[in-house]
Amino acid sequence: MEVAKLGIIGAGQMGCGIAQVAAQAGIEVVLVDAQPMLADKGRKKIDAALDKLVQKGKLKAEERSAIIARVTTAENMSAFADCDAVVEAATENQELKKKIFSDLDKVMKAGAILASNTSSISITLLGAQTKRPEKVIGMHFMNPVPVMKLVEVVRGLATDDATYQSVVTLGKRFGKSLVTAKDIPGFIVNRLLIPFLNEACFALQESLGSIEDIDNGVKLGLNHPMGPFELADLIGLDTCLAISEVLHAELGDDKYRPAPLLRQYVAAGWLGRKSGRGFYKY
Ligand code: CAA
């Protein structure tokens, strides 16, 4: 099935990035957030991102107008009724996502695909909240979505081949490369990334080095584009902690226990770039 109209739930940095790449690929997008004001704000952010591309000469001004015209916002999920697929990009919270999937199932047309951008929560569990578990799949984008090449596709226990193929085709239309992961918490990318970021927090807690020295060690010594603290601030420390909790609880191994320092930063509201302060000040 070809996706002509895509719903996106959640107008945070991931939802907006997904909306942008979808609209750039010629797909009609409906953006919805639990707070309608945020959907409008998100659309403005997408417009500003497109404007930057025009300024850099990477996009023609008339293309920008056509792209942003493909992004509409709506107050609630009933606007998804004629969408061929939806990507859920809400906060990384299991109970919230379960409720969203149950609600989406009721408003989406028969045969429509329900994809989640979750970084760690079970696709099988989300599918079980619906009467169409065969149409439920993981479509995990990386941050910043317009720049990062990868989409991780995650098949739940009941996901059918047609859904998988449609999502692979959609990801390719977005210009992304795809990898397929089993529905095991963390999938491929976060199974490797989150223990790495968490270990950096333990290292800082032990005063192994300063924030800058640990980041520079990784950037200059391992050729990573960002150090672990810069990257954690980009992802959001609340998101890093939430994924850590899922890995710890679901895989049951104490090697995944979140660093107390990470919990402390989140408790302080120091969530990274989005809150103006994380390991660094913005
Ligand atoms: N949105 C759109 N474009 C962006 C952007 C953003 N937020 N941030 C940077 N860019 C663009 C810049 O405009 C620039 O484009 P041009 O080359 O056309 O000028 C390009 O990306 C490079 O940016 P900069 O020169 O400013 O800086 P940089 O070279 O350091 O690159 C970066 C920035 C792409 C973010 C790079 O540092 C990087 O790749 N960092 C690692 C990001 C990463 O690992 N992401 C995955 C996180 S894990 C995840 O998302 C999954 C999860 O579930 C937690």
**Architecture of the CATH domain 5-181:** 3-Layer(aba) Sandwich (3.40)
Instruction: Give the total residue count for the chain.
Output: 282
pLDDT in tens, 55-73: 999 999 999 999 999 999 9
CB 145 within 8 A of CB 17: yes
Rg value, the chain, Cα: 19
∠ Cα 154 157 158 (to 5°): 105
pLDDT in tens, 164-212: 999 999 999 999 999 999 999 999 999 999 999 999 999 999 999 999 9
Give the pLDDT confidence score for residue 131 in this predicted structure.
98
Instruction: State which H helix or E strand residue 88 sits in.
Output: strand 85-88
Domain ranges of the chain: 5-181, 190-274
Give me the helix-helix angle, 237-251 and 189-205, nearest 10°: 110
Is 190-274 the same fold as 5-181?
no
Is 190 considered catalytic here? yes
CB 39 within 8 A of CB 29: no
Q: How far is the CA of 8 from the centre of ligand 1 (A)?
A: 22
pLDDT at 136 over 90: yes
pLDDT in tens, 7-24: 999 999 999 999 999 999
pLDDT in tens, 85-96: 999 999 989 999
The DSSP line for 221-247 is HH--SS-HHHHHHHH-HHHHHHHHHHH
pLDDT in tens, 203-247: 999 999 999 999 999 999 999 999 999 999 999 999 999 999 999
pLDDT at 102 over 90: yes
Which positions ≥6 away from 278 have C-beta within 8 Å?
Answer: 229, 232, 233, 237, 265, 270, 271, 272
Distance of CA 61 to the CA centre of its chain: 28
Percentage of residues in the chain with pLDDT exceeding 90?
98
Is 140 considered catalytic here? yes
pLDDT in tens, 144-175: 999 999 999 999 999 999 999 999 999 999 99
Give the pLDDT confidence score for residue 224 in this predicted structure.
98
Give the pLDDT confidence score for residue 94 in this predicted structure.
93
pLDDT at 1 over 90: no
Q: Which CATH superfamily is domain 190-274 in?
A: N-(1-d-carboxylethyl)-l-norvaline Dehydrogenase; domain 2 (1.10.1040.10)
Mapped onto helix, strand or coil, the DSSP state of residue 74 is strand
Q: Which of 53, 60, 61, 62 is nearest to 21 (CA)?
A: 53
Write out residues with Cβ below 6 Å of ligand 1. 49, 56, 119, 142-144, 146-148, 189-190, 193, 225-226, 231, 235
Choosing from 117, 140, 244, 248, the catalytic residue is 140
